[in-house]
Structure 1
Amino acid sequence: MKPCEPMIITSESGYNLQVGGNVPIAHAWRMIARDHKQVFGREPLQTEEEASIMIRYAQEEDGCPQWPEGYCLRFVADGKRTVLHIIGRDELGIIYGLLHYSRFVLGVEPFWFWAELPPTRRDPIVLPGQDYDSIPPKVRYRGWFVNDEVCLIGWKDDYPPTEQVWEPVFEALLRCGGNMVIPGTDLPRTGIHHKLAADMGLWITHHHAEPLGAEMFLRAFPGKQASYKEHPELFEQLWREAIERQKGEKIVWVLSFRGQGDKPFWENDPSFNTPEKRGQLISYVVRKQYSMICECVEQPVCSMAMYGEIAELYKQGHIEVPEGVIKIWADNGYGKMVSRRHGNLNHRVPALPEVEDEGKNGVYYHVTFHDLQASNHLTQFPSSAELIVDELTTAFAVGADEYLLVNSGNILPHLYTLDLAANLWTYGNTDAGQQLADFIGRLYSRQHQEISRLYQDYSRCSIVYGPHKDDRAGEEFYHHPARQIMGFWLQGKEGYDERLCWAAGEKPFAEQVRWFKEKAESAILGWVELQERCLQTMKQLPEDECRRLYNQLLVQIEVHLSGCRGLANICNAYGLFLEGDYPRAFIQASHAVWSYQKGKEALSLAGTGRWEHFYRADWLTNLDNTISHADTVRRFLRIQGDSPDMFLWYKQYIMPETEKHIYLENTHRKPLSDDELAHCLEKVLC
Structure 2
Amino acid sequence: MHVVVKTNCIISVPQKISTPVQHALDMIKRDHKKIFGCQPILKTAAEQEATIIINYAKGGKECPTRPEAFCFRFQQINEKWILNIIGYDDLGLVYGLLHYIQQYLDIDPFWFWGDLDVEQKSQVLIPTIDYVSKEQLVKYRGWFVNDEVCLIGWKEEYPPSKEVWYPVFEALLRCGGNMVIPGTDLPKAGIHAELAAEMGLWVTHHHAEPLGAEMFLRAYTGKKPSYKEHPDLFEALWTEAIQKQKDQNIVWVLSFRGQGDAPFWQYDPEFDTPEKRGAMISKVVHRQYEMLCDAIEQPICCMALYGEIAELYKQGHIHVPDQIMKIWADNGYGKMVSRRQGNEIYRIPSLPNENDSGEHGIYYHVTFHDLQASNHLTMFPSPPQLIKEEIEKSFASGATSYLLLNSGNIRQHLYPLDLVSQLWRYGSVDIEVHLQQFIKRFYSSYHDEMTKLYKSYFEKTIKYGQNEDDRAGEEFYHHNARKIIGHWLQNRENSVNEKLFWATGEIPFIDQVNWFYEKCQDGLIGWENLLNKCHKLLLKLSTSDKERFYDLFVSQVELHVSGCKGFISLCKGYKSFTIQHYPLAFVQVSESIWAYQESLQALKKSEHGKWNHFYRADWLTNVKSTLYSLEALRKYIRMQGDSPDFFLWYKEYVMPETEKYIYLENTHRKPLSDDKLARKLSEKFQEIMEF
**Structure 1: distance between partners of 2:207 and 2:404:** 12
Q: CA deviation at 1:101?
A: 0.2
Task: Work out which of the residue numbers 23, 39, 46 in structure 1 matches 2:42.
Answer: 46
Match of 2:654 in 1: 654
**Structure 2: distance between partners of 1:270 and 1:641:** 50
Structure 1 residues 74-121: Cα deviation after superposition (integer angstroms, max 9, x where no partner): 111123011100011111000000000000011100000000114211
SS in 2 for 1:60: coil
Deviates more, 1:366-375 or 1:293-302: 293-302
Q: CA deviation at 1:266?
A: 1.3
**Structure 1: distance between partners of 2:185 and 2:503:** 30
TM-score by length of 2: 0.98
Match of 1:616 in 2: 616
Q: Runs of 4+ in structure 1 displaced over 4 angstroms?
A: none
The answer to whether 1:283 aligns with 2:290 is no
Structure 1 residues 113-148: Cα deviation after superposition (integer angstroms, max 9, x where no partner): 000114211121111110111111110000000000
Alignment of 1:438-477 (within 5 A): 438-477=437-476
**Structure 2: distance between partners of 1:269 and 1:344:** 23
Conserved 8 A contact 1:334-1:366: yes
Match of 1:163 in 2: 162
Q: Give the letter for the 1:327 counterpart.
A: K
SS in 2 for 1:25: helix
Match of 1:564 in 2: 564
**Structure 2: distance between partners of 1:153 and 1:552:** 20
Structure 1 residues 42-96: Cα deviation after superposition (integer angstroms, max 9, x where no partner): 1111132411101111122643122210111111112301110001111100000
Conserved 8 A contact 1:19-1:56: no
SS in 1 for 2:364: strand
Match of 2:3 in 1: 7
**Structure 1: distance between partners of 2:226 and 2:331:** 28
**Structure 2: distance between partners of 1:547 and 1:81:** 43
SS in 1 for 2:668: coil
Conserved 8 A contact 1:19-1:57: no
The answer to whether 1:389 aligns with 2:385 is no
**Structure 1: distance between partners of 2:290 and 2:588:** 62
**Structure 1: distance between partners of 2:397 and 2:376:** 30
Structure 1 residues 274-320: Cα deviation after superposition (integer angstroms, max 9, x where no partner): 22222111111111111111111111110000111111111111111
SS in 1 for 2:506: coil
Match of 1:193 in 2: 192
**Structure 2: distance between partners of 1:530 and 1:449:** 15
Q: Give the letter for the 2:560 counterpart.
A: H
**Structure 2: distance between partners of 1:31 and 1:314:** 44
Q: CA deviation at 1:583?
A: 1.0
Q: Give the letter for the 2:534 counterpart.
A: C
Structure 1 residues 544-587: Cα deviation after superposition (integer angstroms, max 9, x where no partner): 11100111001111111101000001000000000111111111
Match of 2:632 in 1: 632
Conserved 8 A contact 1:106-1:119: no
Conserved 8 A contact 1:209-1:256: yes
Structure 1 residues 426-456: Cα deviation after superposition (integer angstroms, max 9, x where no partner): 0100011111111111011111111111111
- Structure 1 gap segments, 5+ residues each: none
Match of 1:246 in 2: 245
Match of 1:23 in 2: 19
Match of 1:119 in 2: 118
Match of 2:689 in 1: none
Conserved 8 A contact 1:184-1:193: yes
Q: Give the letter for the 1:680 counterpart.
A: K
**Structure 2: distance between partners of 1:250 and 1:229:** 31
SS in 2 for 1:464: coil
Structure 1 residues 443-477: Cα deviation after superposition (integer angstroms, max 9, x where no partner): 11111111111111111111100000000000000
SS in 1 for 2:405: strand
**Structure 2: distance between partners of 1:157 and 1:63:** 48
SS in 1 for 2:555: helix
Q: Give the letter for the 1:630 counterpart.
A: L
Q: Give the letter for the 1:315 counterpart.
A: K
Conserved 8 A contact 1:15-1:46: yes
SS in 2 for 1:304: strand
The answer to whether 1:55 aligns with 2:54 is yes
The answer to whether 1:583 aligns with 2:579 is no
TM-align CA RMSD: 0.9
Deviates more, 1:492-501 or 1:631-640: 631-640
**Structure 1: distance between partners of 2:441 and 2:625:** 37
**Structure 2: distance between partners of 1:105 and 1:480:** 47
Conserved 8 A contact 1:180-1:203: yes
Q: CA deviation at 1:534?
A: 1.1
**Structure 1: distance between partners of 2:276 and 2:656:** 77
Q: CA deviation at 1:514?
A: 0.4
SS in 2 for 1:362: strand
The answer to whether 1:84 aligns with 2:80 is no
Conserved 8 A contact 2:375-2:474: yes
SS in 2 for 1:235: helix
Match of 1:540 in 2: 540
Match of 1:342 in 2: 341
Q: CA deviation at 1:23?
A: 0.9
Match of 2:31 in 1: 35
The answer to whether 1:230 aligns with 2:229 is yes
Alignment of 1:237-636 (within 5 A): 237-493=236-492, 494-636=494-636
Match of 1:128 in 2: 127
SS in 2 for 1:335: coil
**Structure 2: distance between partners of 1:651 and 1:272:** 65
Match of 1:207 in 2: 206
User: Percent of counterpart pairs with the same letter?
Assistant: 56
**Structure 2: distance between partners of 1:630 and 1:326:** 47
Q: CA deviation at 1:19?
A: 5.3
SS in 1 for 2:666: coil
Conserved 8 A contact 2:569-2:592: yes
SS in 1 for 2:53: strand
Structure 1 residues 484-506: Cα deviation after superposition (integer angstroms, max 9, x where no partner): 00010010012100001100111
Q: Give the letter for the 1:583 counterpart.
A: P
Conserved 8 A contact 2:10-2:40: yes
Conserved 8 A contact 2:3-2:51: no
**Structure 1: distance between partners of 2:551 and 2:276:** 51
Conserved 8 A contact 2:474-2:563: yes
**Structure 2: distance between partners of 1:316 and 1:505:** 28
**Structure 1: distance between partners of 2:265 and 2:629:** 36
Q: Give the letter for the 2:590 counterpart.
A: S
**Structure 2: distance between partners of 1:214 and 1:52:** 47
Q: Give the letter for the 1:439 counterpart.
A: F
Deviates more, 1:75-84 or 1:391-400: 75-84
SS in 2 for 1:472: coil
**Structure 2: distance between partners of 1:119 and 1:45:** 21
Conserved 8 A contact 1:393-1:429: yes
SS in 1 for 2:667: coil
Q: CA deviation at 1:662?
A: 1.0
Conserved 8 A contact 2:477-2:563: yes
Conserved 8 A contact 1:19-1:55: no
Structure 1 residues 154-185: Cα deviation after superposition (integer angstroms, max 9, x where no partner): 00000010000000000000000000000000
Conserved 8 A contact 1:416-1:439: yes
Q: Give the letter for the 2:22 counterpart.
A: A
Conserved 8 A contact 1:279-1:313: yes
Match of 2:680 in 1: 680
Q: Give the letter for the 1:461 counterpart.
A: K
Q: Give the letter for the 1:41 counterpart.
A: G
Q: CA deviation at 1:12?
A: 2.5
SS in 1 for 2:54: strand
**Structure 1: distance between partners of 2:425 and 2:400:** 11
**Structure 2: distance between partners of 1:244 and 1:99:** 33
